[in-house]
Structures are given as structure tokens and as C-alpha cells.
Chain A
């Protein structure tokens, strides 16, 4: 299975909102509400930011929100801050009971 499709990079100025898309198929993103998003800073382990499309774990800022329409899920970061600069990965459960990650998106705060 091919990775989910994410833009390679997204940038924004402090205080702005940005959205990262994650496109899959009817066998993964489109068929299940089991999409999650992870933030990874250089040299660090990934951190869960959103699970089951829209849910935020305890301790994650409410500036992070998730949504889904059809085969595409999205992560929106509102009020962009310098500390949000990182790589972001989406992942989805699949019809084969496996997990598929996106290729990752580098977020740059201008």
C-alpha cells in the first residue's frame, strides 16, 4: 500500500492558521474515523496531537484541530507559534487491519 498523501511543506506567519491535508482512499481514510496526527521535532519521538479524526489528547493545545471529508483528512493549526515548527504525520487504520502513515509535512513558521 502507498503512503497517504501529504504536502511536503506548509508555512505561515506567527498568529496565522494553516491546514495540512492527508489524502487516502476508500480503504483507509474514507472508510474509518481512525485518523490520527503526530508532531515530530528533530531528533525526538513523535507526539500524538489528534486521534479518531477530531479528538485532542489531554495536554495538547486547542489550537490544533482535525477534520475529515471523504478520503481526505485535515489538521489545522490556529494561532501559529514558533514552537509549532516541526514535521507532521497523519496515519489511518486500513481495511487490512494495518496502519498507513502519510509522507510527512514540514511546517515552517516564517
Chain B
């Protein structure tokens, strides 16, 4: 069974940094693209970033480009999101989500339970 478990969320001050992790199991992690999707409290979903197999292709939303960095460790079946220069508007539940397509185009067939990041002074 596919499992994605996020961790690393918490309270951080504006301008601070935080590193999120996503532990994967139940599938061949190295062969799938994985994404981060966030949801601000009471708001809709927002795609944040994706990383392809072998880290060949990496994409970011304009709202986080230059501040966030996605990476993966296939040996440990894990995904990370390094978040720097955090802003109040980055406050959200962050989900990791598997891309079921694996080539041009994407859809998110499995999701973790999410980890809450709160940016506040």
C-alpha cells in the first residue's frame, strides 16, 4: 500500500527557514515524480513544486521560486522541501503528492496527511 508521511512543520518567524520531509513507502519511489502542494487555512489548493525521477526536471510556482528548494533521496525513499525567507503568506498545510503520470502532464494519485507550517512573529 502506498504511504506518504510528511514531517518537519512548525512555527517559524518571518524571514526564517524550515525543512519539510516526506517519507514514502509501498511503491518504487525512484521511478515517480513527486510534488508539494499546499493549502492555506480555509483556502484552496496551491501547487508548489515538483521533482521528476532522477531529479532531471524540477519546477516551482512563481510564489516560491528562488526561496524554496525541492530535492529527493532515492536511497532513503524520501523527499525534502527546504523553505527559506519564509513569509506570513507561506502559512499552510503542506502535502506531498505522488504524480501518477510520470511524463508530460501530471495528476496526484496519492497524498500524504500533510504537515502544518505557520509563519508568524
Contact = CB atoms under 8 A, between A and B. Distances in A.
B108 A101 contact: no
A99 interface: yes
Interface stretch (B13-21, B45-53, B66-74, B77-85): B45-53
Interface of A: 1, 3, 32-34, 36, 38, 40, 45-48, 51-52, 57, 89, 91, 93, 96-104
B61 A98 contact: yes
A60 B19 CA distance: 34
Contacts, number: 68
A51 B47 contact: no
B76 interface: no
25 contacts: A32-B105, A33-B105, A34-B101, A38-B45, A45-B112, A45-B113, A46-B97, A46-B111, A48-B100, A48-B107, A48-B108, A52-B107, A57-B109, A89-B44, A91-B45, A93-B104, A93-B106, A97-B57, A98-B60, A99-B47, A99-B50, A99-B106, A101-B37, A101-B45, A102-B44
Contacts of A93: 104-106
Contacts of A101: 37, 44-47
A54 to B, nearest CB: 12
Interface in B88-121: 95, 97, 100-101, 104-109, 111-114
A15 B97 CA distance: 32
B106 A34 contact: yes
Given A46-B111, A89-B44, A1 B105 contact: no
B106 A3 contact: no
